[in-house]
Amino acid sequence: MVNLLEMSRRELEGFFAGLGEKPFRAKQVMRWVHATRIGELAAMSDISKALRQRLGELATISAPTAISDTLAEDGTRKWLFRIDGANAVETVYIPEAVAGEDCSAEPGAGGIGRGTLCISTQAGCALDCAFCSTGKQGFNRNLRTAEIVGQLWHADRVLEPRGAGLAAISNVVLMGMGEPLANLEQVLPALEIFLDDAAYGLSRRRVTLSTSGIVPAIDRLREACPVALAVSLHAPTDSLRDQLVPINRKYPLAQLMAACQRYLEKAPRDFVTFEYVLLDGVNDRVEHAQQLLRLVAELPCKFNLIPFNPFPKAPFRRSPRAQMLVFQKVLLDAGIVTTLRKTRGEDIDAACGQLAGKIFDRTQRTARSTSLEAQS
């Protein structure tokens, strides 16, 4: 059985060609599955009964099952999706985000009625960034395309529209659990579906992919499906970033900055967003901000400063707000657009860096960490 949630229009056209059907069937079915968001093939009323019966024998519409649905005081909503018998991932919906609070915001756009969905792409994460709860849980597997798209499909079905003709979700960010560029084979078809006018019809400017800096995959994304790019930077020097973001040891800052410059040649925006979690006494001093200015001197960019969101046994503290504002001012005074993200959904552990889900940890990272603590 093929899962219609994981098939791009191009793949659907091939599927229907194999059935002896015309290519227009692909667009027709995509509209039913994604735009209308039906869950039953029998509901496709403008498709012949014979074809519906044949589809029923060959295809299914199967999304991850939501096993919990939690609402924060600020309206942020978090779902826990079961993806198999051992693993679950989290997805977060942030309603009415104000422009400048997150990297998905359109420059100059108002925040009224916008809704942002933060999607996961892996069960856990293998990159082990020092300040991220997800990375501390270990890693099990990549999500399949249907499991990525299914998060948006489910959210779109259960959320109230923002108004006449306006879907609840206007922006999608691949910033949930996992490193999207480590799962590019499954992420690329998902991006195609998000952008397809017969499905969700999102513009490339309203889909943001966040990466810790896998340089070859940034180049591949640039060629295959350039969407808005956000880079988890978090440090201005290789020595510090090696500690906070271990992938930097393989792809150091010089290579990363060069890849960002190349990406801009085809990006839907004329800047790269750098995400920067502020850690008290670690990366939040004036000298760090000045080092950042030197690092990005030749690169059009904006900074999205993020207060650290604590999790159990985290070795860091959130920078005092006064220090965050001093740090922001250094960048602003140099003419760089710099926003300080408002923490959303913290009371339900839905804030940046807090997503944990439930995974079978094949890396055994949690077990190794527990063992080391017992020995110390």
CA 8 to chain centroid: 19
Residues 122 and 158 in one domain: yes
Q: Quick one: pLDDT band at residue 108, thresholds 50, 70, 90? A: very low
Residue 352 among the catalytic residues: yes
Element (H, E) at 51: helix 49-58
Q: What is the pLDDT of residue 211?
A: 97
- CA–CA distance, 280 with 320 (Å, rounded to integer): 7
Residues 288 and 330 in one domain: yes
Domain boundary among 60, 76, 105: 60
Residues 45 and 82 in one domain: no
| pLDDT tens digits, one per residue of 205-257 | 999 999 999 999 999 999 999 999 999 999 999 999 999 999 999 999 999 99
Residues 36 and 80 in one domain: no
Residues 45 and 99 in one domain: no
- Calculate mean pLDDT across residues 328-351: 80
Residues 122 and 248 in one domain: yes
| pLDDT tens digits, one per residue of 131-168 | 887 767 788 899 999 999 999 999 999 997 766 666 78
Tokens read off for 194: 């998000």
Please work out, in degrees rounded to the nearest 5, the angle formed at the alpha carbon of residue 149 by the alpha carbons of 144 and 150. 90
Helices (H), 137-281: 145-158, 184-195, 215-224, 238-244, 253-263
- CA–CA distance, 78 with 349 (Å, rounded to integer): 9
State the chain's mean pLDDT as an integer: 87
Q: What is the pLDDT of residue 223?
A: 97
The total domain count for the chain is: 2
SS3 229: strand
Q: Quick one: pLDDT band at residue 96, thresholds 50, 70, 90? A: confident
- Choice among 6, 21, 90, 101 that is catalytic: 90
- Which CATH number covers residue 238? 3.20.20.70
Residues 165 and 214 in one domain: yes
3-state helix, strand, coil in the chain (%, to 5): 40, 20, 45
| pLDDT tens digits, one per residue of 112-123 | 568 999 999 999
Residues 156 and 51 in one domain: no
| pLDDT tens digits, one per residue of 277-299 | 999 999 999 999 999 999 999 99
Q: For 228, phi and psi rounded to 5 degrees?
A: -60, 135
- Calculate mean pLDDT across residues 187-209: 97
Q: Quick one: pLDDT band at residue 128, thresholds 50, 70, 90? A: confident
CA distances from 92 to 17, 204, 223 (A): 37, 20, 29
Residues 52 and 105 in one domain: no
Nearest CA-CA partner of 336 in 272, 285, 282, 287: 272
Residues 11 and 152 in one domain: no
Neighbours of 336 (CB within 10 A): 19
Is the predicted pLDDT of residue 100 greater than 50, yes or no?
Answer: no
- Which CATH number covers residue 32? 1.10.150.530
**Cβ proximity of 97 and 114 under 8 Å:** yes
**Cβ proximity of 133 and 354 under 8 Å:** yes
Beta bridge partners of residue 82, listed in sequence order: 65, 88
Domain that holds residue 132: 65-375
Nearest CA-CA partner of 127 in 185, 208, 214: 214
Residues 44 and 178 in one domain: no
Q: Which has more confidence, 71 or 202?
A: 202
Residues 80 and 51 in one domain: no
Q: What is the pLDDT of residue 145?
A: 97
Is the predicted pLDDT of residue 365 greater than 70, yes or no?
Answer: no
Domain boundary among 60, 81, 102: 60
pTM here? Answer: 0.87
Give the whole-number percent of the chain exceeding pLDDT 90.
Answer: 70
- Calculate mean pLDDT across residues 41-45: 89
**Cβ proximity of 86 and 140 under 8 Å:** yes
Q: Which has more confidence, 351 or 287?
A: 287
Is the predicted pLDDT of residue 367 greater than 80, yes or no?
Answer: no
